[in-house]
Amino acid sequence: MTVILPNKPKSIKVHRGVYCLFHLILALFFIICIIELRSNVVEITSTFKKVFPELEIQPSISESPKTVLIRYDEGDVTTVDRWIGLIDNFLDEYRTKSETRNVATLCDFKHPPKKGQSCPIDLDNFGPCSPPFYGYYSFSPCVFLRLSEIYNWIPEYYNTTDRLPPSMPIDLIREIKLSNNKNESNQIWISCAGEHDVDKESIEAFNYYPERGFPSYYFPRAHRNNRFLSPLIAVEIVNPKPGYIVSIECRIWSKNLPYKRNNSGERQGSIRFGIMRDELVYEEG
C-alpha cells in the first residue's frame, strides 16, 4: 500500500526561507561589528600610547631606555670614544636627512618652514657640545635631547611669566621673560637638575644649545614618510663631581604635556639618566 504524503503548504517554505535569510544577515552583521570593534580598539590603544610626545636622550645603548648611565674616564680613550661613537651614529641620521630631504634654507620665528619642508639642523651650532668630541674630552660632557614624533600634535606654550607652575625653576622663568621680550617665547622649554640634593651639589651648572627650548616653528609635525627632522637640544653638564654617579632629571614644559612619576621608575614628561666621571688615578714612579 502506497502512502501519499500531502505537500507542505508554500507558506511554510517561505517562512523557513525568510528565517534562514534573517539569521544569515544577523550573523554577517555580528561579524562586521566584531571586526569594526577590534579595529577601533587597536586605534584607540595606539592613540593612548602616542597621545603625548616623550623625551628621548642620546647617547644611549638602548632604543628606549628607562635609565641611562653614562660612565667614562677622561684618561681611558676607549671609554670616552664609546660614547662619542654612539652620538656620531645618532647624528648620522641628521646628516643624511639634511642632504636628501626638502629642508628649508632658513628657519626662525619670523621665517617658519613652508608646507612639506623641515628646518635645518646645524650640527656645528651646539657650542662646546658640537662635533667631534661633544664635550667628552673635557670635564663637561654633553647629552642630546629630542621629542618623539607625534603627527599633527600642537603644543600649548608657557609663553608669559603669568600663572607659571610653582615648580618651574627660577632660571627658566628668567629665560621665558627674556625670550618674551624678543617675541621668541613660543617654545617647549627644557630644564635639567640633579635629582636629589646630593646630585644638585655635584653639578656646577647646565648649559643648553642652541637654545633652551624646542621652538614653535617645528610644530605641528605635518610630514609623513619620515621626512621630519626633529629638533635637538644639547645639554652641557658642567663639571659633574668625579667618582660618583650623579642622577639627573630633564623635564619638558608645555601646558598640554603632563608631568608624572612614581616610585617604580615610570615617568611622563621627563627623562632620568646618570653621569659618572671616573677619577684619574696616577701612580707614583
pTM of the model: 0.78
User: Domain of 254: which CATH number?
Assistant: 2.60.40.1660
If residue 46 lies in a helix (H) or strand (E), which one and from where to where? helix 10-49
21 part of a folded domain: no
220 part of a folded domain: yes
Catalogue the E-assigned strands of the chain. 55-58, 68-72, 142-147, 187-194, 205-209, 213-215, 233-238, 246-253, 260-261, 267-268, 270-277
Q: Specify which residues 268 forms β-bridges with.
A: 260
Q: Are strands 270-277 and 246-253 parallel, antiparallel or unpaired?
A: antiparallel
* Band of residue 262 on the pLDDT scale cut at 50, 70, 90: confident
Question: What DSSP character marks residue 213?
Answer: E
As a residue count, the chain comes to 285
| Residue 209 lies in domain | 52-277
The pLDDT of residue 283 is 42
The pLDDT of residue 43 is 42
Helix %, strand %, coil % of the chain (to 5): 30, 20, 50
- Of the candidates 206, 207, 181, the one whose C-alpha atom is nearest the C-alpha of residue 109 is 181
The answer to whether residues 227 and 263 touch, using CB atoms and an 8 Å cutoff, is no
171 part of a folded domain: yes
Among 80-84, 97-101, 153-157, top mean pLDDT goes to: 80-84
16 part of a folded domain: no
If residue 90 lies in a helix (H) or strand (E), which one and from where to where? helix 77-100
Which amino acid does the sequence have at 193?
A
Can you tell me the distance from the alpha carbon of 69 to that of 280, in angstroms, rounded to the nearest whole number?
A: 19
Dig out the grid coordinates for 204 from the structure: 656646577
11 part of a folded domain: no
Catalogue the E-assigned strands of 73-186. 142-147
pLDDT surpasses 90 at 248: yes
9 part of a folded domain: no
* Band of residue 41 on the pLDDT scale cut at 50, 70, 90: very low
**How many domains does the chain fold into?**
1
Can you tell me the distance from the alpha carbon of 118 to that of 112, in angstroms, rounded to the nearest whole number?
A: 9
Asked which of 15-19, 134-138, 188-192, 219-223 is least confident by mean pLDDT, the reply is 15-19
Per-residue pLDDT tens over the stretch 157-181: 999 988 899 999 999 999 999 998 8
37 part of a folded domain: no
33 part of a folded domain: no
Per-residue pLDDT tens over the stretch 179-236: 988 889 999 999 999 999 999 999 999 999 999 999 999 888 765 555 678 899 999 9
Can you tell me the distance from the alpha carbon of 152 to that of 226, in angstroms, rounded to the nearest whole number?
A: 13
